[in-house]
Amino acid sequence: MAQQAPVIFVMGATATGKTDLAVHLARELPCDLISVDSALIYRGMDIGTAKPEPAVLAEAPHQLIDICDPAESYSAAAFRRDALAAIEASHRAGRIPLLVGGTMLYFKALLEGLSALPKADEAVRARLLEEAEQQGWDALHRRLQAVDPEAAARIHVNDPQRLQRALEVYELTGRSLSELWAEQQASALPYTPLQIGVEVPDRALLHERIARRFHAMLEAGFEEEVRALYRRGDLHPGLPSIRCVGYRQMWEYLSGNWDYEQMVERGIIATRQLAKRQLTWLRGWEGLRRLDACDTQLYANALNLVHDYLR
């Protein structure tokens, strides 16, 4: 039954019009909007994050916006927990959860679950490599067969990198790689979502939109917004909130490290770099239905995709 319950994703790079599309769909369909944005979670950070205007939020409320103080941190695991709760609440109300945003790590965590695999341990890796040199990779493969026969069946004796990693995971956790992978797969999203990607195919045009929006933020009072955060005294550039694109550059300007022109230039460049990272995520995204943000039929095309999906 969970596989049949509808869930819609609207994702894309910054400045592609994701929010406008999501709000339009919410006007046509009984959708509950859920934000998938690691910057919109912060209270008091409205202009620089391009948070939807109060009138827009009044018409189409977004969940998972304004849920954290800028002094707090918020993880992909916390997002996954909160998003799943919001999706389930929407389904119980007989509505359609529509998740919209550009934080691809959050989308990935929601879709695939979170891995419990440990980070690489150089000391363990060095010891395993030394043992392989002394005993041979055959001996290490036999050791893997004893603790994780499923992984040993998948990993060839002549694949030292994967063999080393499987043994490293077991030594660090006391659990097999196969067991940990199975847990992650079991925690994957129990729905089959419609995934819509909003794109501006012309990179120069996307850069133009980014620059135009950054200047509009400045005209809307972005500097004073960050000054208010700066004056608090408990925030600093090491926090995830202040590392957000635009805020970090404005913080450097307010700290006297850059002049105004440098702040503007570097803020726009940083936003372009963010868009490039988002596009890299989306390039190989499986199951993505891509729509041109500049197409005059964008809303109609998206609505047709949704109707086909719901049927």
Residues 6 or more apart whose Cβ sits within 8 Å of residue 207? 272
> Taking 50 as the threshold, does the pLDDT of residue 1 lie above it?
no
Q: Which helix (H) or strand (E) holds 87?
A: helix 76-92
What's 122-186's CATH class? mainly alpha
Residue appearing with tokens 């910054």:
14
For 311, the token pair is: 């049927």
Task: Sketch the domain layout of the chain as residue ranges.
Answer: 2-114+188-310, 122-186
CA atoms within 13 A on the CB side of 235: 24
pLDDT digits (tens, 9 = 90+) for 86-118: 999 999 999 999 999 999 999 999 999 887 788
Is the per-residue pLDDT at 181 higher than 90? no
How confident is the model over 127-142, as pLDDT tens digits? 999 999 999 999 999 9
195 class by beta-carbon count within 10 Å (0-12 exposed, 13-18 middle, 19+ buried) = buried
Q: Side chain identity at 143, as an amino acid letter?
A: R
Q: What does the DSSP assignment read for 107-131? A: HHHHHH----PPPP-HHHHHHHHHH
CA angle 191, 9, 274 (to 5 degrees): 130
C-alpha distances out from residue 265 to 85, 257, 270, 272, Å: 40, 14, 9, 11
Residue-level length of the chain: 311
Q: How confident is the model at residue 4 (pLDDT cuts 50, 70, 90)?
A: confident
Query: What integer is the mean pLDDT of 148-173?
Result: 93
How confident is residue 3, by pLDDT bands cut at 50, 70 and 90? low
At residue 182, the pLDDT reads 79
**From 70-74, 117-121, 159-163, 179-183, the region with the lowest mean pLDDT:** 179-183
Per-residue pLDDT tens digits for 187-215: 789 999 999 999 999 999 999 999 999 99
Radius of gyration of the chain (CA): 23
- Is residue 230 over pLDDT 90? yes
The pLDDT of residue 54 is above 90? yes
2-114+188-310, CATH topology level: Rossmann fold (3.40.50)
Distance CA 36, CA 282 (A): 15
